[in-house]
C-alpha cells in the first residue's frame, strides 16, 4: 500500500515514514504543499496531510484529491484546534482528523482502519486470500505474485468492494494519472481475473467494474 505523507516538520516526517516502512508500507513524503499537490495522482492508497505547510495548504490539496478520488482515505494531522478549520476539513471530505501531538501507533491504527486493512489479510473465500503487505494472492497455500499495476488495481477494488469503479478512476489510480487506453485497462483486468479462483470482478457495460465480495 502506497501512502502520500505531507508534513513540513522534517523530524516528524521522517519518524512517520520510518514507522510505516518498518511495517512494509510504501511512503512517499513531502514537506512542500505544491510538490504534494503536483503528485496526488501517483497511485496512492491513502493521504496523510498537514494543513499549515509551505505554498499550498492541506485543505486545498484535500479539495483537489476529492476531484480525482471520491473514496480514497484522507487523514488530516494538525496542531490546530480551531473548530472552523476542523469543520472545513470534514466538509471537504477528510475521513479523520488527528491533533498533534499524537502517538505514531495511533496514526497507524487510524490508517489501517480507514484503509480496511486492519487484519492485513483479506479473505475472498476459504481457499483464496490477499495479503496486503506482501502484495500476494494466496490460493490453497500457493503464493501468486502481482505486478505493480495488478497490485494497484486489486487495492483499488478492495477499498471499494461491491461498488462501481469507473474506467477513469482506474486510469487515475493505476496509471497514476497518465492516459491509457480502454484496451489496456481491459487487458489488465483479464490478467488479474486469471490469478483469482472465482469471478469476483464483474463488468459493467461501458462504465467500469465491480469487485463483488459477500463479506
- Percent share of the chain, pLDDT over 70: 96
- Percent share of the chain, pLDDT over 90: 33
What pLDDT sits at residue 115?
77
Q: What is the model's pTM?
A: 0.64
What pLDDT sits at residue 118?
47
Q: Please, which pLDDT band fits residue 215 given cuts at 50, 70 and 90?
A: low
Any long-range contacts for 129-136 (C-beta under 8 Å, 24+ apart)?
Answer: 130/154, 130/158, 132/1, 133/1, 133/23, 133/24, 133/25, 134/24
Residue 86's DSSP bridge partners are none
What pLDDT sits at residue 126?
80
Q: Average pLDDT for residues 186-214, to the nearest whole number? A: 89
C-alpha–C-alpha distance, residues 152 and 45, integer Å: 8
What burial class does residue 106 get, using C-beta atoms within 10 Å of its C-beta: 0-12 exposed, 13-18 middle, 19+ buried? Answer: exposed
Give pLDDT tens digits for 9-48: 999 999 999 888 877 788 999 999 999 999 988 888 899 9
Residue 198's DSSP bridge partners are none
What pLDDT sits at residue 155?
83
Q: Average pLDDT for residues 74-83, to the nearest whole number? A: 86
Lowest mean pLDDT among 64-73, 86-95, 108-117: 108-117
Q: What is the mean pLDDT of the chain?
A: 86
Domains of the chain: 2-114 (3.40.50.2300), 147-211 (1.10.10.10)
Q: Is 64 strand, coil or helix?
A: helix
Give pLDDT tens digits for 38-51: 998 888 889 999 99
Q: Please, which pLDDT band fits residue 62 given cuts at 50, 70 and 90?
A: very high
The helix (run of H) or strand (run of E) holding residue 203 is strand 201-204
Q: Please, which pLDDT band fits residue 119 given cuts at 50, 70 and 90?
A: low
More confident call, 185 vs 82: 185
Q: Is the pLDDT of residue 120 over 90?
A: no
Amino acid at each position: 500500500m502506497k501512502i502520500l505523507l505531507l508534513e513540513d516538520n522534517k523530524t516528524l516526517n521522517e519518524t512517520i515514514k520510518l514507522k510505516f516502512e518498518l511495517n512494509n508500507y510504501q511512503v512517499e513524503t513531502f514537506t512542500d504543499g505544491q510538490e504534494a499537490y503536483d503528485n496526488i495522482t501517483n497511485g496512492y492508497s491513502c493521504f496523510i496531510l498537514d494543513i499549515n505547510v509551505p505554498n499550498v495548504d492541506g485543505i486545498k490539496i484535500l479539495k483537489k484529491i476529492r476531484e480525482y478520488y471520491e473514496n480514497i482515505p484522507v487523514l488530516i494531522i494538525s496542531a490546530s484546534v480551531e473548530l472552523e478549520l476542523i469543520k472545513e476539513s470534514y466538509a471537504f471530505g477528510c475521513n479523520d482528523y488527528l491533533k498533534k501531538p499524537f502517538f505514531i501507533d495511533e496514526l497507524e491504527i487510524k490508517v489501517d482502519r480507514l484503509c480496511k486493512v486492519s487484519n492485513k489479510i483479506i479473505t475472498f473465500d476459504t481457499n483464496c486470500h490477499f495479503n496486503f503487505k506482501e502484495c500476494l494472492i494466496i490460493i490453497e497455500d500457493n503464493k501468486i505474485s502481482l505486478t505493480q499495476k495488478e497490485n494497484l488495481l486489486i487495492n483499488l477494488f478492495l477499498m471499494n468492494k461491491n461498488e462501481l469503479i469507473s474506467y477513469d478512476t482506474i486510469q487515475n489510480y493505476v496509471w497514476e494519472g497518465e492516459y491509457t487506453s480502454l484496451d489496456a485497462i481491459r487487458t489488465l483486468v483479464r490478467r488479474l481475473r486469471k490469478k483469482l479462483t472465482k469471478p469476483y470482478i464483474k463488468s459493467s457495460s461501458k462504465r467500469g467494474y465491480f469487485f463483488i465480495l459477500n463479506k
